[in-house]
Amino acid sequence: MKKRCIAALLALLLLAGCASAAPGEDRGQNPQGEADSRQEAGEEFSIRIAFNKNDSLNPYLAFSQANRLASSLLFDPLIKLTPEYEAQPYLAQSVQNNGSVLTVSLRADARFSDGSSLTAADVVYSFEQARASSLYQSQLSPFTSCAAAEDGTVVFQLASADRLAENLLTFPIVKSGSLLTGSGVAKGVEGTGRYRLRQEEGEYTLTANESHFSGSPLVNEIHLVSITDDSALAYSVDVGLIDYLFLHLSSTEEYSIGSANVPVAMNNLVYLGMNANRTFFQDARFRRAIGAAIDYSDLLQRAYSGHAQEAKTVLNPAFHELSDLSLENRRDTAAAAALLDELGYLDRDGEGYRMSNGRRITLNLVVNEENAARVTIAQRMKEYLSSAGIDVKVETLDYESYRLRILRGEYDLYVGEVKLEDNFDLTPFFSGSGFSASMDISPELLAAYQGFRTGTGSTQGLVEAFEEELPFVPLAYRSGMVAFSRDFPAEVTATEQDVFYRIQPRGEEVSASQEQR
């Protein structure tokens, strides 16, 4: 892996040395001074981003990471999510949620690049393309149908009531039938987005859509730089080839990116699974003792170099509904000791480990050896639990062996990660199958979760029920990041759904219109 990254970096350095500035741009000796003057004046400016010249910029045809990201500038969703996961209408004028039915009214001022108006038929067509795509298939699985109504609205039918279902309407809207139009990079590129695609002499540029309902963006032109190797993207800002890039940070090697950056909240939950079929874990007090013994701040720094947020409960810490709740620091070594004492594990062996029935309490923890961050977590777990008097044996396994061990219930603890959908669907944990088959989910906790989903309960009710039982230990929600050139003359706010969510002059307050861009 390291050799491949070095080779990619060398290739980028060669490309950067040969690359010329975009038309009209001066990449001269004083980029910082130029950036500062643009910042003060709040003037429009241009940037460079990556794309793959061998791939389409249509979101349902693109196979490269770069083109999928760039396509978000050409296509709009019905709903945008704020960094706090709050749904904001975008192509939708309004969304009415009647439990298991969403009725979407569309904006009258949205136009495709060919000048035609957005219609309900376009949304239905886009829904069908999205549901057939591996990128959106899971996201849209709660919906059983999408249909155009006679009054021009779009009706989404859900399999079950979900008060946060509109958070899933972030899939891109394309013009009906457009996947059959155009060719190459421009194949299927007919969107309502903030930018339009322009091709001149083999060069591709995104130009601001001056008639877009969100107004004129600060970045008036985006020059597309072809990088066909996704593994090389992480270094492309550092070497000066492009100015702006989103990274999922799925590899610890990306943590060392030297460019300026801002964190991006993601719904990737890293957790400690506990096998409730084992005697120790059948008592919630033992599970809570495990959770209280963990040094979360130390864990996130060592495993993710700070590119993660502590999961103070099962829900994403960025979720706006948690801001009204008082979530306490979960590390409490005194409480962990008290719980273990209460359970009767008072005797210790010669090395200080707690005893049960005359034998040292020893737990087996399995982890995928192919993920360096999770291996670090496993190693730190051994240290934290040792301080509580519990011995841990860490087994690092190849992914297939790791997967089978968990599915067969042949573990005490495991370090896992799951990508949750943006409606905070916890079914992967509460289904009682797969990786959650050996977790203890009581009827009371399940009822609290259903109340949270349907609105008959509350977020606080779910949090309290979960913390009381703690069927698994939420450790962190991983963050991605947007990396940009150090002379970038604007402030950046990004979301995982829209990495270009807001780019504004430094120090400027956010207006209602900017919040929608």
| Secondary structure in 3-state letters for 145-179 | EEEECCCCCEEEEECCCCCCHHHHCCCEECCCCHH
Q: What is the mean pLDDT of residues 197-221?
A: 92
- Average pLDDT rounded to a whole number, residues 83-104: 97
Q: How far apart are CA 248 and CA 307, in angstroms?
A: 10
The answer to whether residue 12 scores a pLDDT higher than 70 is no
pLDDT in tens, 377-397: 999 999 999 999 999 999 999
Tell me the mean pLDDT in the region 81-110.
Answer: 97
**Band of pLDDT at residue 260, cut at 50, 70 and 90:** confident
pLDDT: is 328 or 470 the higher one? Answer: 470
Check residue 27 and give its pLDDT. 36
Note the CATH number of domain 266-479. Answer: 3.10.105.10
Beta bridge partner(s), residue 92: 106
Encoded tokens for 368: 């995928």
| 293 contacts 333 by C-beta, under 8 angstroms | yes
Residue 246 pairs in a beta bridge with 482
The CATH number of 76-173, from 3.30.420.40, 3.30.390.30, 3.90.76.10, 1.10.10.60, is 3.90.76.10
Per-residue pLDDT, 327: 87
Q: What is the pLDDT of residues 263-317, one digit of tens each?
A: 999 999 999 999 999 999 999 999 999 999 999 999 999 999 989 999 999 999 9
Tokens at residue 436, please?
Answer: 């959650």
Tell me which range, 4-13, 31-40, 230-239, 346-355, is most confidently predicted by mean pLDDT. 346-355
pLDDT reported for residue 42: 56
Cβ neighbours for 465, distance < 8 A, ≥ 6 positions apart: 444, 445, 448, 449
Q: Give strand pairing partners of 413.
A: 274, 365
Is the predicted pLDDT of residue 457 greater than 50, yes or no?
yes
Question: H/E element holding 399?
Answer: helix 399-407
pTM: 0.89
List of E strands, 59-171: 76-77, 79-81, 87-89, 92-97, 101-106, 143-148, 154-158
The burial class, CB within 10 Å (0-12 / 13-18 / 19+), for 202 is exposed
Contacts with 333 (C-beta within 8 Å, 6 or more apart), sequence order = 292, 293, 387, 388
Q: Are 192 and 111 in contact (CB under 8 A)?
A: yes
Which stretches within 258-398 are classed as H helix? 284-292, 296-304, 333-342, 372-387
CA 239 to CA 79: how far, in whole Å? 35
Mean pLDDT of 443-471: 96
Domain boundaries, given as residue ranges, for the chain: 1-26+36-64+183-243+485-517, 76-173, 266-479
State yes or no: pLDDT of 367 exceeds 50.
yes
How far is residue 44's CA from residue 243's CA, in Å, rounded to a whole number?
Answer: 15
Containing 504, the helix (H) or strand (E) segment is: strand 502-504
Average pLDDT score, the chain: 89
- Answer whether residue 35 shows pLDDT above 80: no
